[in-house]
Amino acid sequence: MERTTTDHDTGGIGRRKLLSAVGGSAVAAALAGCSTLLSDGESAEQGGQSSGGISDEPIQAGLLTFTRGAPGVLGIQAQRGAELAVQRINEAGGIGGQREIELDVVNEGSNPLDSYNQFIEEGKEVTFGPISSGTHSQIAPEVEKNEVINVSTDGTVTTLYEETVPDPTYSFRFQNYDIMEVVTMAREAVERIGADNISTVAGVNPGYSFGEDEMRVFTQAIQKLTDAEIVYEGFPELGASDMSNHITSINNEEPDVTFSSLWGGDVTTFVRQANANNMFENTTVFGTTLYSAAGDVPGDALAGTDIYSGSRNYYWGKPALGNWQPGRELFDAATQQDGVTVPTAHYMSGYGAVTAWATAVEKAIDLLGTYPSQEQIAQMLEGHGFFTPAGYHNIAEDHQGASNSFAGKMVYDDDLGAARLEDVNTYAATETAPPPGVTGSDWLDSWSA
List of E strands, 319-448: 385-388, 391-395, 401-403, 405-413, 418-427
Residue-level pLDDT at 69 = 82
> Contact at 8 Å (CB) between 96 and 48?
yes
Measured CA to CA, the distance from residue 296 to residue 280 in angstroms comes to 20
DSSP state of 49: S
**Per-10-residue mean pLDDT, the chain, length 449:** 51 48 68 49 41 85 92 91 97 94 95 96 98 93 98 93 96 95 97 97 93 94 96 94 97 98 91 96 96 86 93 86 85 93 92 96 93 97 92 92 94 92 94 93 90
Residue-level pLDDT at 320 = 86
Residue-level pLDDT at 15 = 46
Q: pTM, whole model, 2 decimals?
A: 0.88
Look at residues 26, 129, 33 and name the one whose alpha carbon lies nearest to residue 353: 129
Q: Which residues contact 276 (CB under 8 A, 6 or more apart)?
A: none
> Contact at 8 Å (CB) between 31 and 89?
yes
Rounded to 5 degrees, φ, ψ at 318 are: -135, 105
3-state secondary structure 99-167: ECEEEEEEECCCCHHHHHHHHHHCCCCEEECCCCHHHHHHHHHHHHHHCCCEEECCCCCCCHHHHHCCC
Measured CA to CA, the distance from residue 233 to residue 253 in angstroms comes to 11
Query: What are the percentages of helix, strand and coil residues in the chain, rounded to 5?
Result: 45, 20, 35
Length of the chain in residues, anyone?
A: 449
Residue-level pLDDT at 384 = 94
Find residue 317's DSSP bridge partners: none
Residue-level pLDDT at 47 = 40
Measured CA to CA, the distance from residue 8 to residue 383 in angstroms comes to 18
DSSP state of 277: T
